[in-house]
Structure 1
Amino acid sequence: MQMVPKFCFPFDVERKPPSPAVQHFTFALTDLEGNRRFGFCRLRPGAQSCLCILSQLPWFEVFYKLLNTLGDLLAQDQVSEAEELLLNLQQQQPPHRPQPSRGPEMVSSSVCMCACMSLSCFVAPDSDCLPSIPENRNLTELVVAVTDENILGLFAALLAERRVLLTASKLSTLTSCVHASCALLHPMRWEHVLIPTLPPHLLDYCW
């Protein structure tokens, strides 16, 4: 937990903020066994605090929507409503995936975890499905920001398990492209070092 602020502010906070707009970005914490915990962040320009949710679930659309809802509530000084929403979500049972039947009719494999409050509904995505556009915001961002030729080159580099370094002027674009690149490997997974956001104290990984 002591390292989380360095990932929430992976830049010099005394200088001009990296973007004049609200930024959504992620970072990844990997333990000694290779298990990843993702940090989902919402950062307002010039803010001295950052909204961050830690989870082992790579549910980008769900957590970004939740962060926006919390940001709107806090901007209106509705702190108790924001705390109630978080408590309601924390008490939700883990989603259970139904097994498909053997008959001609297949049971829907979609998983739904809803917590309806403040007109918000959060639906757990199906991680077994191929990523698609525009449902997958990361993949959409990659296609918009990167040329087709570079996407193919990036895909080939990942298949060859090469070291890949991505740069961008916006944190949101950077982390979206990193996670979208991993999604391109579906149903395979990137098993090596993954640092979507590289704070200054981790620059040695670039050498």
Structure 2
Amino acid sequence: MAQQFTSFLRSSIRRRSSTKEASQVPVKENSARPEGRRTDVTALSYSGGHLFFEYLIVVSLRRQKPGAAYEPQITYQFPKRENLLRGQKEEEETLLKAIPLFCFPDGNNWSPLTEYTSETFSFVLTNIDGSRKFGYCRRLLPAGQGPRLPEVYCIISCLGCFGLFSKILDEVEKRRQIAVAVIYPFMQGLREAPFPAPGKTVRIKSFIPDSGTEIIELTRPLDSRFEHVDFRSLVRRLSPEQILWLFASAVLERRIIFLAEELSVLSQCIHAVAALLYPFRWEHTYIPVLPRVLIDTVCCPTPFMVGVQKRFEEEVLDRPLEEVLIVDLCDGHFVRQVGDEGTILPQKLQVGLLSLLNQHIKESQSAEQVNTSISEAFIQFFIQTVGHYPSHLKHGRSGPGAFQERAFCKAIHSKTTRKFLKTFVKTQMFSLFIQEAEKSSTTQAGYFQQKIAEYQEKKKREKS
């Protein structure tokens, strides 16, 4: 099973890599994106009406024969799909082969336990066209007597909303400690309920033996940019300077490896770094929790952002790594650097970002306040560097517009900012962002465009 999926992953990376090399502006691999695909990673703001999830998967540890090592296997799947077309069936089979590896990425050195602290983490599966599915996992020790093995309840969804699914997994775990049979009526009710719009609440009725019928309320954050991220996980483990250097590496689409022992830390911190890129989106290999059997992924010559458990650090360092940034989230330091991370961002803007980060980290704030303040700081960075892009989109009477890249870069007076822009405009995230803008005959009315308008209005008032 692991070998089959490893081959699939490597072939998909090769296809994405060859597509990128085939074009100076690497947009080919995503040219057939599903309708409605957004270019920003945090604005996964699907409208209400979507199904909450595609599957609930239970992954347990089993032995193929006595004395052999335990291997993760799917022991339950809800719902079971029927009447699929051939292509759909192949896609589903590939998905189902991948899930056990990500639910138990630590390898197969397991033995029965009497105590185990539940873990909540997530993983991402990226299709060749760039579309993504999220896996939300709760690894727990079932109720019982004596040594027993942990199992994972994994919810597969195309919707990015970690906080909401974490609450759903709380309900799943509560029911699992009573009886397995209590879980599935709850999940059926959830599947029949529409996914709420931002700021809205959906109520699920669920019967629990000895407790009666309960009403579970599930509310999406009003600001959908933050429903899949908690920046506190990042600022607790890295200094403001390290966060800036990490951001700089991500902006230039470099290879980044995160190390941490806890699966939750890996997934939370990588999602946080990706969210710093708003209004842009990380378009390359993105594996918040990398299974041990896929560690060779770190040898990939194309950009990637992956998380590896710290126990496998030596295995990573033994690989022939090209230029890469390795971030140790346990000890809060960089294991390996390219060397120029501190000079990538324009110096003046870097100083401003650093000041804002120091200010917000020192203050005692709620998760919502931290998310808002840090997000706004990085949005301001992009406004000051690329916020003038609408002025350099020329639309004719019909057909798509044309972006005037040279004039766009020359419009910036600062030499250091102009130097940064000349590199940034060649990234895939910027190319796809502009490609979407070129398709629209009018300026998109998104959050980023709103912040650009506010910034420009403020500048006008300061001049008058």
The verdict on a shared fold, with TM-score over 0.5 as the criterion, is: yes
Q: CA deviation at 1:116?
A: 4.8
The aligned residue for residue 462 of structure 2 is none
Q: Deviations over 1:108-146 (max 9, x none)?
A: x634334354353212335644x3xxx876322112122
- Does 1:66 pair with 2:176? no
Q: Are 1:179 and 2:271 counterparts?
A: yes
CA distance in 1, matches of 2:140, 2:154: 12
Selected match of 2:189 from 83, 88, 91: 88
Q: Which amino acid aligns with 1:35?
A: S
Assess if the C-alpha contact under 8 Å between 1:112 and 1:125 holds in 2.
Answer: no
Answering whether residue 284 of structure 2 is matched by residue 192 of structure 1, we say yes
The higher-RCO structure (CA 8 Å, 6+ apart) is: 1
Partners of 1:139 and 1:116 in 2: CA distance: 33
Which structure dedicates a bigger proportion of its chain to strand?
2
Higher helix fraction (1 or 2): 2
**Residues 8-27 of structure 1 aligned to structure 2 (within 5 Å):** 8-15=103-110, 20-27=116-123
1:85 Cα offset (Å): 1.2
Contact 1:116/1:122, CA 8 A, preserved across alignment: no
Q: Which amino acid aligns with 1:83?
A: Y
Partner of 1:140: 232
Deviation at 1:57, TM superposition (A): 0.7
**Which structure 2 segments of 5+ residues have no match?**
1-95, 142-147, 207-213, 300-464
Aligned to 1:35: 131
2:365 aligns with none
Distance 2:109 2:135 in 1: 23
**Whole-Å separation in 1 of the counterparts to 2:162 and 2:188:** 20
Letter in 2 for 1:82: I
Counterpart of 1:100?
none
Residue 120 (1) aligns with residue 209 (2): no
Pick the aligned partner of 2:151 from 32, 46, 49. Answer: 49
Secondary structure of 1:41's aligned partner? strand
Asked if 1:160 is matched to 2:255, the reply is: no
SS class of match (1:206): helix
Quote the residue 1:204 is aligned against: 296
Identity %: 32
State the one-letter code of the partner of 2:170.
N
Q: Please say if residues 59 and 125 of structure 1, whose CA atoms lie closer than 8 Å, have aligned partners that are also in contact.
A: no
TM-score (norm. length: structure 2): 0.38
**Structure-1-length-normalised TM-score:** 0.81
| Shift in alpha-carbon separation, 1:38–1:124, aligned structure 2, 3 A | same
2:204, 2:216 within 8 Å by CA — same for their partners in 1?
A: yes
CA distance in 1, matches of 2:149, 2:241: 37
- Paired residues of 2:107 and 2:293 also in contact (CA < 8 A): no
CA 1:59 to 1:170, structure 2 compared with 1: closer, same or farther past 3 Å?
same
Cα distance change, pair 157–113 in 1 and its aligned pair in 2 (3 A): farther
Structure 1 residue aligned with 2:241: 149
**SS of the residue aligned with 1:121?**
strand
Secondary structure of the 2:283 match is coil
CA positional deviation for 1:21: 2.2
Displacement of 1:20: 4.7
Partner SS state of residue 287, structure 2: coil
Aligned-pair distance for 1:14?
Answer: 2.3
Name the CA shift for 1:76/1:92 in 2 (closer, same or farther; >3 Å): same
1:7: how far off? 0.6
Change in CA separation of 1:114 and 1:156 when aligned onto 2, cut-off 3 Å: farther
Offset, 1:198: 0.5
Q: Distance in 1 between matches of 2:293 and 2:222?
A: 35
Q: Distance in 1 between matches of 2:154 and 2:236?
A: 26
Q: Which ranges of 4 or more aligned residues in structure 1 deviate by more than 6 Å?
A: none
Residues 30 and 126 of structure 1: CA distance in aligned 2, closer, same or farther (over 3 Å): farther
TM-superposed deviation, 1:192 = 1.2
Q: Does 1:3 align with 2:98?
A: yes
The answer to whether the 8 A contact 1:43-1:50 is kept is: yes
Residue by residue over 1:64-119, the C-alpha shift from the partner in whole angstroms, topping out at 9 and shown as x without a partner, is 11111111111122x34321110111001244x5xxxxxxxxxxx63433435435
Please list every run of 5 or more consecutive structure 1 residues that lacks an aligned counterpart in the other structure: 98-108
SS in 1 for 2:246: helix
